[in-house]
Amino acid sequence: MYRLGLVGYPLEHSLSPMIHGSALRIANINGDYRLYPVPPSPQGMAELGQLISKMRHGKLKGLNITIPYKQAIMEYLDVLTPAAQAIGAVNTLFMSDGKLVGDNSDAPGFMADLENIYSKKTVGREVSRVLVLGAGGAARAVVYALGMAGWEVIIAARRLKQASDLVTHILHKIPDLKNTQSVPTNASELNGRFPIRAIDLNELPVFIQQTDPIHLVVNATSVGMFPDIYASPWPEHLELPASAMVYDLVYNPEETLFLHRARQQGHLAWSGWGMLVEQALISFEKWTGIAVPRQLVVQSLSIEGKPD
């Protein structure tokens, strides 16, 4: 029996069991997908160790990892895939040749959903400049994916050092982006010299006025996620860039306050539901070797009343 699951805290908002349950049925696999809420505490770390032990002994076939363990989990692993190593965060665990491997399906999942959006006739593909809100584990995957695709990325975070550290890390992992000199660690030196840079979130009003058009704004924070549904990562009295589309990685609620305000201002906007499905199916294929078509899962979930 395929026993799969999700490790993180909190997990009440998670729709992953529905997605993977649908994939298991479509693939005709006898299995289940459970939630393993592990609080960030000494007791929680012991729990995490027990789950890792179950994977090593074959009692669990695969695990997804979410907040707050996407980086903390790495010390338990034997091998990191190139993507996980470059991103510096893990969301998928599987066994290979007796070794526990950490991978990251967030980056390809995000890009797959974005490309799906661009394939629609209503959306142009001239996007080139992206503003990413946040510098945590999810932001790492998004910035890496966009950087690999050759886009100009601006990271805005409340902690500028965290954003600057992310810039430096990503630039070292994508050789084509850096020049022949060493990548500087000072945030002011980074700005204007590389296609990925960092700014303080408090500088957004001035930055938006002075920079070239922003084509896409991505919320890569957990702000606005259930149950904190009345919060938004975007400053309340600041208009979104006129030319920007909006993508919120949060998927529960389906329409966050951030998305609601963006749509009220006339912007095209999408939730992280599509990314959630895409990254789930990438993980599922790692565990089972079966590529379940997205459309079949979406149709199955639509029957259950979930977004299509």
Task: Identify which of 133, 118, 144 has the alpha carbon closest to the alpha carbon of residue 268.
Answer: 118
Report the catalytic residues. 70
- C-alpha–C-alpha distance, residues 84 and 87, integer Å: 5
Exposed/middle/buried for residue 15 (C-beta within 10 Å: 0-12, 13-18, 19+): middle
| Whether the Cβ atoms of residue 3 and residue 93 lie closer than 8 Å to each other | no
DSSP the chain: -EEEEEEES--TT--HHHHHHHHHHHTT--EEEEEEE--SSHHHHHHHHHHHHHHHTTS-SEEEE-TT-TTGGGGG-SEE-HHHHHHT---EEEEETTEEEEE--HHHHHHHHHHHHHTSTTS-S---EEEEE--SHHHHHHHHHHHHTT-EEEEEESSHHHHHHHHHHHHHH-GGGS-SSPPP--HHHHTTTSSEEEEEGGGHHHHHHHSSPP-EEEE-S-TT-TT-TT--SS-TT-PPPTT-EEEES--SSSS-HHHHHHHHTT--EE-THHHHHHHHHHHHHHHHS----HHHHHHHHHHTT---
